[in-house]
Chains A and B, each alone.
Chain A
Amino acid sequence: MVAVLVAAALGAGGCGGDGEDPVILATTTSTQDSGLLDDLIPRFEEESGRTVKTVAVGSGEAIELGARGEADVVLAHSPAAEEELMAAGKGESRRTVMHNDFVVVGPDGDPAAVRGDEPAAAFAAIAGAGAPFVSRGDESGTHAFELGMWEDAGVAPGGDWYQESGQGMGATLQIASEKGAYTLTDRGTYLATDAARDLAVLVEGGADLLNVYHVIAVADDAGERVNAEGGKALADFLVAPASQERIGEFGVEEFGEPLFVPDAGKTDEAIRAEA
């Protein structure tokens, strides 16, 4: 049955890719929503003559696709899950690409009085006040980070005030804005989302809120038919000086400040020390 469909679709569609093996990049919705990849990927395609299939999913799914060898290169911001993937021998290399930071946003009235707090204290205050908080709830890198913050705050989030959107960052910001709720967001999506204008940045800065992106070239033997060479080429491209310069400039024109800080060659510790 499926074979018939495939044969029929191939014959009738005639719309498959070209000869060159495409590179499959699994990445997070936040990088796609920011528009950065639309800027960088065409440059890589032109330079290398390869085509890239960018699949934007949550960090959890992106890393899972890499671990199964269904993607050739992974760009993610979920350090614990990334290290697991490397430990399982599914990654050929893992390198720092860039960072931005997370911020806690909420209604300007700030019912839980968290403005200017340390991150963990702010999360504890939100829970203590029972002020509405919208969580991504989608196993994204941002969601993983948020869960880590609750742990630091010594709170097990739950109850009427804690709501899970199950959606991307832009949609979650919109929901938080409509409900007058707090949420945790990466600064890039916050800046790029018009619907978030009603929300104010209440907690920011410091090493605790850093959001670091790494690129993982998937190992040849992570699965069948992995295009390891193509994956590595794209990973190399992202940390190359020209791309890093471009990352540092991206967003300045539209938002007045860069959305990401280029970090190639730095360790996580060095980035933390600078923050």
Chain B
Amino acid sequence: MGVLWDALTEAFRLLLTGDRETWEVIARSLRISLTATALALALGLPVGAALALSRFPGRRTVLAAVNTGMGVPPVVAGLVVTVLLWRSGPLGPLELLYTPTAMVIAQTAIALPLVAGLSSAALQHVDPELRLQMQALGAGRWRSLWVVAVEARLPLLAAGMAGFGAVISEVGAALMVGGNIAGQTRVLTTAAVLEASKGAFALALAFGIILLAIAFSVNLVLTALQQHGRP
């Protein structure tokens, strides 16, 4: 129990005393994971919409693949990205391994199926009559798509939150493609793993508590956005 109490006080100390290294790690975690989530939304929403609203050959296979992708362990995604980014790999000339950019790529790959799969489910849930009515009223294709999206905004934002939650908390890929390099690719989760492996359990837990606090703040903003105008 002593460790939990130490962790709590340590977390507050790091946050309140403005420990520079800690705040850098926090900023880096947020920058990488928010970028990855934004990319996953930009790429995943159109995929989800296409899967939900159009019919094409192989659609079910793609849907099944996306749903499987939701369960891919981060360490496997990280391993694949690592091998691709190796100097000897196909993307070696870009020299991206052990950079924050590599972490963004891996985390985007992790969040993408979540966003695509959940948004496709969200859009399929909207009454198909709505789109037909809109088109009957003379709305264009994009206009009616927009109305459907607004109708499904709650689960769509939930898809974004699921993506963010998955990447800010994952450690396998971040460790593998980032290398947990101090000052460059060390994020909250990899810092926690490092401290735990050193046996500094209170500090490791403190990073965990900070991670939860950060994730909570981000989700609070998103939830406020989501519930806007609801009683």
Contact = CB atoms under 8 A, between A and B. Distances in A.
Interface stretch (A87-95, A166-174, A229-237, A260-268): A166-174
Contacts of B181: 53-55
Interface residues of A, number: 42
A12 B31 CA distance: 10
A9 interface: yes
Contacts of A55: 98, 179-181
A212 interface: no
A10 interface: yes
B22 interface: no
B136 to A, nearest CB: 36
A170 B104 contact: no
Contacts of A69: 87-88
B105 A9 contact: yes
Contact of A225 (B43, B92, B198, B199): B92
If over half of B's interface residues share one DSSP class (helix, strand or loop), that class is named, otherwise mixed; here it is: helix
B84 interface: yes
Contacts of B92: 224-225
Contacts of A223: 87-88
Interface stretch (A13-21, A73-81, A96-104): A13-21
Given A13-B104, A56-B180, A68-B88, A194 B200 contact: yes
B108 A5 contact: yes
Contacts of A9: 35, 39, 101, 104-105, 108
A70 interface: yes
A131 interface: no
B220 to A, nearest CB: 24
B38 interface: yes
B87 A170 contact: no
A111 B166 CA distance: 46
A117 interface: no
Interface of B: 31-32, 35, 38-39, 42-43, 84, 86-88, 91-101, 104-105, 108-109, 179-182, 184, 194, 196-201
